[in-house]
Structure 1
């Protein structure tokens, strides 16, 4: 049986609203139009809460336009944030061919939950797997398709999808790419120790004015990011902290 997604379990929406969400999606599947018309009409089926999430990514992205460095999507899961960032790159800075996007995930589910975490049936080792190497390859191909469909699409293959435990893959990435810096990093790892070690590997590479964004910083049901912030970032590291206007759960730090 497919695992339930947290959006149907941990939600501010009423049961009626969740039922309507399902009906909207069903209408997407049965929409009476050609494939070309359906592709151009996806906004008909984009619910407001998902649009709010996409607008929040955009609101963060536009703050790094004048900064050098890669975008990291740590705990990328299915890769939606990375794909949105590729398309925002094409919209706002189509000639910025050094704006690389790097996705990190096990693609086999969470790892590193310990006694310090609040493990649940939704959030524990092994949940949120998407198919391992097969899905990592799929996401890599999908990112390239988006690149090729965008402006300057002949210059594709700039992005990378890296499979494995981020506690090992991120330090290895920087070891292999000594000249790579970070303008923006999204975190959605959700286990304390991996979140801590990944942050400590990334923060020294974030350029001044760069952004580190946390999807779960203020969510009590998933406390890992809050613990890392309270114990490591808040008392030790200078920064500004803000939340996104359209999606308050997405909070971000700006490096001085």
Structure 2
């Protein structure tokens, strides 16, 4: 009998530990653990569980959805693709996939492209503070799992035109190669969540010829003391005095500017 989709990856997250900075008081941490137990032992019927996930989602997780929606709404009249730099488990890819289906179901030209090593930070530089090689990796083979999940989401939504791609590898090499293979690319939104100086700087330089007036360029850790490399890359590649760095009301750290 065929195994359930993703069954061979069960337990991966438990077998691989990854360093994540999540400041919280002891009371908050205990409450989070309690919610996790409620979710694992939930009496919600299996066929209703996907629709009831907000019951267990954190304020941070729901705020992420609202934040991404606020950014996406700014590019509805901007032609081009959405590029995500830093995919990890695929949360933002899934959010953007759903936002596209809800906000512009008739825009058959909008592609969503995600770039990630899927093995964590490949290297760190002097600009990257105390971050370490391998941080934020995922188990081997997860990129294929994510592709399967996103495919099933498209099927469930009745989306016959996925217009979606996951590009695995170091963006310093993979992005220029991908752009050479897709010279037609116009970028409506580029969202940076790689945390590090070198890949962020390389990607900012590479996308510059592909942006247009109205392109939104977003950052997950600009001005973040734990990930200084992202800000250094932005300052060097674009120049802080030349952009208006803005934020939404739904999340503290993420920011963006719109190409004028």
Q: Normalised by the size of structure 1, how large is the TM-score? A: 0.91
Contact 2:16 2:139 in 1 (8 A): no
Contact 2:80 2:111 in 1 (8 A): yes
Write out the 4+ residue segments of structure 1 that deviate beyond 3 Å after TM superposition: none
Q: Partner residue of 2:212? A: 207
Counterparts of 2:103 and 2:109, CA distance in 1: 14
1:97 aligns with 2:108: yes
Q: Which consecutive unaligned segments of at least 5 residues does structure 1 have?
A: none
Counterparts of 2:117 and 2:236, CA distance in 1: 26
Q: Partner residue of 1:253? A: 257
Q: Deviation string for 1:73-95 (max 9, x for gaps)?
A: 11111111011000000000011
Counterparts of 2:240 and 2:228, CA distance in 1: 18
Q: Partner residue of 2:164? A: 159
Q: What SS is found at the alignment partner of 1:108?
A: coil
Contact 1:116 1:192 in 2 (8 A): yes
1:86 aligns with 2:97: yes
Q: Partner residue of 1:131? A: 139
Counterparts of 1:232 and 1:179, CA distance in 2: 23
Q: Deviation string for 1:215-236 (max 9, x for gaps)?
A: 0002101111111123332257
Q: Partner residue of 2:82? A: 71
Q: Partner residue of 1:234? A: 239
Q: Deviation string for 1:108-136 (max 9, x for gaps)?
A: 111231223212xxx3211211124x111
RMSD (Å) for aligned C-alpha atoms:
1.6
Q: What SS is found at the alignment partner of 1:59?
A: helix
What is the Cα deviation at residue 43 of structure 1?
1.4
Q: Partner residue of 1:244? A: 248
Counterparts of 2:62 and 2:68, CA distance in 1: 10
Contact 1:148 1:155 in 2 (8 A): no
Contact 2:120 2:134 in 1 (8 A): yes
Counterparts of 2:62 and 2:88, CA distance in 1: 18
Q: Normalised by the size of structure 2, how large is the TM-score? A: 0.89
**Of residues 14, 20, 29 in structure 2, which corresponds to 1:6?**
20
* Count of residue correspondences: 246
Q: Which consecutive unaligned segments of at least 5 residues does structure 2 have?
A: 1-14
Counterparts of 2:193 and 2:35, CA distance in 1: 27
